[in-house]
Amino acid sequence: MTRPFANLRVLDLTTTIAGPYCARLLADGGADVIKIESPEHDTMRSRPPLRAGASTFYGQLNAGKRGLVLDLKRPEAVAIVRRLVETADVLVENFRPGVMARFGLDYDTLRVLNPRLIYTAISGFGQTGPSAGLPAYAPAIHAASGFDLAHMAQQPGRETPDNCGIYIADVLSGTYAYAATTTALLHRASTGQGQLVDVSMLESMLTLPLTEVQTAQFPQPPSGRPLFCPVATATGYIMPTIASERSFQNLARAAGRPDWITDPRFARYADRRANWHLMFEEIELWSRTLTSEACMAALTEAGVPCSAYRTVAEALADPQLAHRGALAEVHDAGGSFHAVNPPYRLSETSIAIAPFAAAPGQHSREILHEAGYSEPEIAALIASAAVQAA
C-alpha cells in the first residue's frame, strides 16, 4: 500500500506533547520527520514509564522520527536548520510566539529560503493578539477555555473546579495542527504556495463544549442539561446511553418495564428531561439486581448503546482493538512497548506508527551528510557542541 507522505520532509522543532504528536501523525503517513532537539533534549524523555532510561511516553509521541540534536544558541546550528529548510516541505514548532524569530527561524525569514514551506506553529493562544506571548500548558488552557468549570457544573455537589490530569488540549491541538498542515499541503499541491499554519490551543479546546458555547450566549433555565449517569449494578457500574426514543423504549423493554413507555413521567423526551433523576433511580432498581455482565447482555441484545466501566488496561485488551490492529510494537533503547495507531484506516493507503523511537542525536551524522556537510565539517560541528551525535 502507498504511504501518503512518503515524499515529504518534515522538520520537527517541538517539545512536550502537542507539537510532537502533530509531527508523529505525519511520520505515521510515511513522512521523513527529523526531530531536532536541544542539548537538554525533549523534557518528555524523562517522563515515566522508563526502562534503561528510555521513556515509552516519549516514544509514543515521537516514533518514526530521525534524531538530530542542535544547540540553536550557536549560529552554526541555526545555519544547519536553514540549510535543511531549503529542501523541507513542513516545519512544525510549538515555542512561545517570538522565540523562533529570536533564532532567525520565523516564518517570514524562512519563506524567503523556501516559498513552498508549510510552517506549522502551535501555541497556547495563537501567534497574534493580547495573550499571544503568555506561556501555556494544557492544564492552564483547560482552565482558561472554561472546560474545567463546565465539567464541574455537570457534577452536582462539587465545590472546587475540576482537575483533569489527561492532557486533552495537547492531543486536541496536535490533531488540529495535523489536519491544518495536510490542508495546507493540499493547497500547495494546486498552487505551489506554502503558508503559515497558526494553531491555538485555547481555540482548540473551545471546539469541545458544544452545548456550553451556545448556552453561554443564550442562557437556559436552571434545570440545566440532563447527563447520562453511571448506573450501579450488583458488581459495578455501567453506562447506558438512551439518546433517542428507540433506545429509551428498548431499555424499558430490556428492564422488563414496558410501562415506562407510557408513564407520563418518561413517555416523551421533555418528560424524561424533567424527571431525569427519577428515571435513573427506576433503572437502578432493575440494574442492581444483576451483574454488570448480565445488564450489558440484556441491553446489548435490545440494541441499547452501553458499556461497562473499564480501566485503560482492560480497554487495551479488548479483542476489537486486536482485530483492528489498533496497537503497534515500537522499539527503543529500553526494549519494546505498544503504542496506539491512528484511529482511522484507509483502503488504499498505509497509515501506521513506525516501529522505532530514536535516541537523542541518533541520526545527526546521517542527516548532516544528506544536507551536504563533509565529514570534517561534521566533526568540527560536534567538537564545537553546535551538534550532538549519539
Q: Which residue numbers are catalytic? A: 170
Per-residue cell: 352: 501506521
CB atoms within 10 A of CB 170: 24
Nearest to 172 by CA among 208, 217, 130, 144: 208
Task: Provide the b/e sequence for 171-186 (b: ≥16 CB within 10 Å).
Answer: bbbbbbbbebbbebbe
Distance CA 89, CA 31 (A): 10
Q: Residues 14, 18, 23, 24: what is their CA dihedral angle, to the nearest 10 degrees?
A: 120
What is the Cα–Cα distance from 367 to 70, expressed in whole angstroms?
Answer: 12
**Could you give the C-alpha distances from 362 to 28, 38, 69, 183, 333, in angstroms and in order?**
19, 13, 9, 31, 11
Are 18 and 92 within 8 A, CB to CB? no
Q: Which three cell numbers stand for residue 288?
A: 442492581
